[in-house]
Structures are given as structure tokens and as C-alpha cells.
Homo-oligomer: A and B are copies of this chain.
């Protein structure tokens, strides 16, 4: 595939100037349009050492308003990055609506540099390709334009460029031993690059191989491709905006899941105050010890709390963390998304909070909002929340593959207990702020929620991230069960190693 490129192609200076004058204006115009329409754009530049990525990126950004793009240069991962799943680095850098993220090298380093240096193969390589595919697919499904360029030069040309760089005092440091090694073994890398392009080129995230011997030719080819795709996407978006998007929140009965999952739970389970106090003390001590152990072994832990309003999430979390070392855990409460969060993929704000190895993040409500409140209140389309089960499973799989412990709790109470607790809150001046009109409105949609919860529990109960239902009519019982579940999950992980 790379061999089919004609690397001798070039564009003469005078022609180039005329063509570029036009292309630059077009690009500037389209980028302003993209901003107005709120389309996020991702541009990826990969290529041989000294193939001219830097210069090319500079040409792309010069005509643009600096408010509308951001360039990220990806080299070795730093400490913070190494302690997290590798896509964390890139999720956190995805553009918000109407903005452009430009990557000088990217998530493909795993499939290129690291693979070339023989650090990645077989099963791990497959998993890298899978992760990349689901990452790009999720962003594309959310409306991102993704364009990937590979800058290609010949072995001879690369050698010549390295030598030129070495001649100049201010640039010779840029040529490293690794560069020369790569040049020497040039042929060996060709099939690796080709495989990467084949494995990860899709209509929604295509690769363009660019003949980069002549910088003018490469520039024109890259500009033309970006312009072509932006125009296409803008036209599509503008025609789509004319029709109203239909939300189908009520249609959910079609693939109704049996609610037996929730109704068969024994909510009478309880503990006496004495038993509770005794066990709490033991469990909390154990948790603190395990917290240190997972810190030492650099294991990241994600604990997700979901449950009915007034099911006791707050009190449960408090008992879990009461004796923990605050340096090792963080509670992240999830409320309605901010403006900035709404302008990103819905999983972006959760990716940002992924704990690093050795740390525990406790989510008070989670990404499951997508298939609960956002589904019921039609805050996203039916297509979107149906897609979410798979997206969420993929994300949790990536956490788990990285070695994270993922614990998910559903705090279950029955309708009567909820009513009782709502009334109690209203009557207690110190607790009144905890109850809002929204809670009452949610309660009216109890049946819709019950259905959504059941479907969620069925479709996202995986081996790597299983749900634990916590019977929470009795708070004492619920707290101890949650603590014990966390203890068991951490112990299992520690024994695994």
C-alpha cells in the first residue's frame, strides 16, 4: 500500500502559492463554520521521523483563529499517564463542540513506536487495536470528525534529512540513535505501518497516506483532504439540522426487560445496631489496611454508586471512607453536566476522573445516568442511550484490562421506604435541603425507572465489572454489605497478583 505511493510528486513554488492562497481561505472559512455548527474535529499526524509533521501542522494552524484549536505533542507518557489506562491521555484531550484537537503523534504510538521496539505483540496488540477502534467509534458516533494522516518518505530521503539536521548546531540534537536505528531497519517497519492503517481505517476515521518528499505537495494534499471532509460533514449537518430530531423516550416498551430482577430482591434483610457497630469497626479497619496494600501495588480502584433517590448513597459512602486515608481516595459527586461537559462526549467527564494506580475513586452517581435519567427525561436520543450499554462496557473493559478493580453498587429500596424517607427529610429542618421537587417528579416515573434499571443491570453486568445489588431498606445491613463487597473485590485482586 505504501509502495504504491509516488514519492516523487511535487508542486512548483509559484503554483503552490496560488493554490495555497485559495486553500487557506477556504479552511479558515470552514473552521469558522464548524465552530458555528458545534462540530468537534480531531486531526492526527503520524509519520516517519523527519517526515515534516511539525512544519505541516504549523501550516495548517497559521490561517486559523487560535481560539479554535489546540496542538498536542505526544511523546513518552509521563508518570501521571503511565499510572492510567493509555487512552486516558487522549480522552482528556478530545475537543469540545466546535473545536479542533490536533495530535502530533497520537494514540497510535502503541501500534507504532512501542510495537517497533518490540514491546507490544500478539494478544496485547489486538487489545490495543480494539481499544483504538472503540475510542474512535465512540467519538465518531458522538459527531466528531476524525482525520488521520501518515506522512511517508523513502529510506534514502529520511537518511538525507537526518544528515541535514545533524549538520546544523541548533538541530543536531533532534536526531537520536533510535532514529538511525529506525532508518537502518526501515523495511522492517513497512508491514507494521501498513497493518496499522488496515486495521484502523474506517469510513468514520479514515487514514490518508501522504507523499511527503515535497513539502508543498504534502501540504496541498493534507489541506485538500481536510477541506473535502469538512465540507461534506457541514453539508450533512446543515441538512440534518433542518429536520427535527425525534426523541422516543416513550417507545421503550418494545424491548422490555423483565423487571423480575428487582422484584425478587429480599429487602427484609437487616442488622441490629450492635451487630452493625461491631462489624463496621472490623470492616473499616480492614479497608484501611487494604487501601495501603493497593497503593503499594499501584492498583487503581473504581467504586460506582447508583440507586434510588433516598436509598442512602451518601451515608453508605461516608461509612466506607470514614477510616480511610484521604490521600488515597476521592469521592466524586456527579450532578447535571456543566456547559463544558455538555460540549464533550458524555463519557469525557468520567474519563477525566479515572484514578491513577494505587488510588480509589468513589463515584456518587455515575456514567449510568446516560441509561437512567437521560433516557427517561429524553436528554439524549433513543439511539444514543441504546448505544451507551456497549460504550460503557467498552470503557469498563479498558479499566479492567489496565488492572483496575471496578465495583458497581445498585442501592435498592422499595417504594414505601422511599416515601417514608422523603417525608422524614421534609419534616427535618437539617435535612430539608436534601429533598427537591425533582425527587418527587422522579418518583412519579417510578415504573419507567424500574424498567430502565432492569435493562441496565442485565446489559452491563459483566465479568470484569459486575453489579452488586445492595438491599438498602435497612441502612445498617446495606453499609456492611457494601463494605464487605469492596473488601472482597480488593482481596481477590491482591491474591490474583
Task: Give the interface of A toward B (CB within 8 A).
Answer: 25, 54-55, 57-58, 61-62, 65-67, 71, 73, 78-80, 104, 168, 170-171, 173-174, 289-290, 292-293, 296, 318, 321-327, 330-333, 335, 364, 430
Contact = CB atoms under 8 A, between A and B. Distances in A.
Contact of A327 (B104, B173, B324): B104
Contacts of A73: 327
A25 B430 CA distance: 10
B174 A292 contact: yes
Nearest to A174: B292
B62 A322 contact: yes
Contacts of A333: 65-67
- Copy number in this complex? 2
A326 B104 CA distance: 9
B292 A170 contact: yes
A361 to B, nearest CB: 11
A83 to B, nearest CB: 11
Contacts of A289: 168, 170-171
A58 B318 CA distance: 11
B78 A324 contact: no
A64 B71 CA distance: 39
Candidate in A58, A289, A293, A332 with the most chain B CB atoms within 10 angstroms: A58
A330 B61 CA distance: 11
Nearest to A294: B170
A325 B62 contact: no
Contact of A62 (B71, B174, B321): B321
A156 to B, nearest CB: 24
Contacts of A293: 170
14 contacts: A54-B326, A58-B323, A58-B324, A66-B332, A67-B333, A67-B335, A71-B326, A71-B330, A78-B78, A78-B79, A80-B80, A170-B289, A171-B292, A173-B296
A388 to B, nearest CB: 25
Contacts of A61: 326
Nearest to A75: B327
Given A80-B78, A171-B292, A292-B171, A331 B66 contact: yes
Nearest to A289: B170
